[in-house]
Amino acid sequence: MKHRRLLAALLTAAVAAAQLALPAGSGSAAAPASAAFVSWSLQTNEVTQLAPGVTQTVGTYTLDGSVSNYWRISFTKDSGAKLRVVLPNDGTSTGLDTVRHMADSAVLHGENVVAAVNGDMYNMSTGEPWGVVYREGQVLHGNNVAGRDWDFVGYGKDGSLLGGSASDFDRMWPQIDQAMGLHMVLVENGVNVCSDASATRAPRTAIGMRSDGEIFLVAVDGRSSASAGLSLTEMADLMVKLGAVWAGNLDGGGSTTVVSREAGADALSVQNSPSDGSERRVANAWLITVPGSPTQAQIDASDLAVNGRVVSDTTAPLTLRPGQSYQFRMTVQGGSGAPNCFVDDTSRFRVTYTGSSGRDYFFRVTALSASSGSVGVYTQLPGGSAERQCTLNLAA
C-alpha cells in the first residue's frame, strides 16, 4: 500500500507542487464525502513566533457554514527545532499525564520546550499507548497492542517525517530519532486518502509535512457552540489546504490539547479549549524543542506548575496562650494535590484540618502546653519538601 512506504521518498517538490494545485477538497476515491463540500474558507486570526523558525497560527476553518477553531504550530527544517516524544513526567514508563505537565517536566530536565500537542491513542484506564514509543535509540513501548501491529509516525535523524507499518519501523529504526503510534494516514502525495467515511465531527489532532520539509502540528477544537470540530475526512481536507503533502491522525476528542509558551511569557499554557472542560490525562505527547537551554524564569515557571507551592495567609509571627486557636488559610499554587500542615513540636500545639474551598485549605492550630516556647508551622505538598510558613510563640 502507498502509505507503507518511506515518506521521505514520496515528498518530492515536483510531485507536491502539482498535487497541491488540486481544487479544494479533491482527494482519492477513499474520501467521497469531499464531493459534498460546497463552500469552505480559512481565516488566520493570529500569528505568533514562538522561537526563530517556529510559528503558531490560530485561525478558523468554515465548512458549509460550520465554524471550527484550529491551531497550527510549524517549524522550518533549518530552524534547529526538533520533535521529541514525551511520556508521563518525562519518564520512561507508560501511564497518564496531561500534555502541559509532561512538557513542564521536560523543561525541568533541561529541554527548551516551546510547544506540545497530545500524541497517540491509548487505553484510557491504564495509559498504555496503542503504538510504539521510541526515543533516541530506546524502544520505550512496543507497537503490538491487543494483537495488532499499529502504524507509526517518526521524526527522522535528518529532520524529516517518516512513517509506515510496524514492519517498516523494524526496518527503518536506524534512521529514526523519535517515533510514536499513528491512528491513520490522512494525506499522501498531497491528496486526501482518509479511509474513514464517518461524518461524526469531533476535536482532532494531526501531524503533517509540507513539500519544503516544514513540519506542522494541527489541533481543531470541537463539541462546542464555538467550534464544531471535524470528521476525519474533513480533517484530511484541512491538512491538504494547509499545505500537507503527507499527514497522519493522532488521538482526538477530549485528548486534543495544544500547549505553547506565548510571546513574552515564561510559563507554558494551554491554548485551545479541551472538550472535557479541562486537560485530559493522556499517554504521550509530541514536543517541539529548540536549541539552547530554558531560562531560569522558564524553569521556575515549570517548577511551579509541576511541583506547586503553598502560600499562607499569615507569615508574621503569632503568639497564642494555652487553649487559644488560630486558623490558617493555605493556598496551593500550581502543582496538584492537597497540602499537609504540621508543627515541629506537637506537645505544644495541635493542628486540625478544617476544610477546603477550591485551592484554599484551612488548618486550625491550637496551643496546648503551659510551657512557653516557639515552633514552626510547615506545609508540604505530595512528593515535595516541607516549607516553613510561620513562627508560633506560646505564651505562659
Measured between alpha carbons, how far is 95 from 74 in angstroms, rounded to an integer?
28
Query: What is the mean pLDDT of the segment spanning 204-210?
Result: 98
Distance CA 291, CA 177 (A): 16
Among the three residues 306, 332, 354, which one is the final residue of a domain in this structure? 306
Tell me the pLDDT tens digit for each residue of 80-103: 999 999 999 999 999 999 999 999
- Mean pLDDT across the chain: 90
Query: Do both 107 and 183 map to the same domain?
Result: yes
**pLDDT of 290-306, one tens digit each?**
999 999 999 999 999 99
Report the C-alpha gap between 58 and 105 in whole angstroms: 26
- Assess whether pLDDT exceeds 80 at residue 12: no
How far separated are the first and last CA of the chain, in Å rounded? 85
Together in a domain, 38 and 160: yes
Cβ-count burial 11-50 (b if 16+ within 10 Å, e if not): beeeebeebbeeeebbbbebbebbeeeeebebeeeeeeeb
Domain extent at residue 40:
2-306
Residue 26 has pLDDT above 80, yes or no: no
Q: How far apart are CA 315 and CA 332, in angstroms?
A: 15
Q: For the chain, what is the domain count?
A: 2
- Same domain for 387 and 324: yes
Place of cell 484541512: 238
53: burial class by Cβ within 10 Å (0-12, 13-18, 19+)? middle
| Domain match, 61 and 121 both | yes
Could you tell me if 298 and 327 lie in one domain? no
Q: How confident is the model at residue 113 (pLDDT cuts 50, 70, 90)?
A: very high
Residues 83 and 64 in one domain: yes
Nearest CA among 42, 10, 30 for reference residue 247 = 10
Q: Are residues 265 and 315 in the same domain?
A: no
Tens digit of each residue's pLDDT (9 = 90 or more) over 352-393 = 999 999 999 999 999 997 788 899 999 999 988 899 999 999
Segment 154-158 mean pLDDT: 97
What does the pLDDT average to over 152-178? 95
CATH number where 343 lies: 2.60.40.10
- Report the pLDDT value the prediction gives residue 7, as an integer from 0 to 100: 53
The sign of the dihedral angle between the CA atoms of 232, 237, 240, 241 is: negative
Same domain, residue pair 296 and 327? no
Residues 329, 206, single domain; the answer is no
Indicate if 244 and 345 belong to the same structural domain. no
Shared-domain flag, residues 327 and 265 = no
Q: Select from 276, 306, 336 the last residue of a domain.
A: 306
Q: Residue 38's pLDDT is what?
A: 53
Q: Residue 9: which pLDDT band, with cuts at 50, 70 and 90?
A: very low
Taking 60 as the threshold, does the pLDDT of residue 177 lie above it? yes
Percent of the chain with pLDDT strictly greater than 90: 84
Among the candidates 306, 341, 376, a domain finishes at: 306
255 and 107 assigned to the same domain: yes
* Mean pLDDT value of segment 222-247: 97
* Residue that has been written with the C-alpha cell 525541568 in this structure: 108
3-state secondary structure of 390: strand
Q: Mean pLDDT over residues 58-64, rounded?
A: 95
CA dihedral for 309, 311, 317, 323, sign (positive or negative): negative
Window from 7-21, 86-100, 140-154 with minimum mean pLDDT: 7-21
Cβ atoms within 10 A of the Cβ of 384, count? 17
What percentage of the chain reaches a pLDDT higher than 70?
A: 90
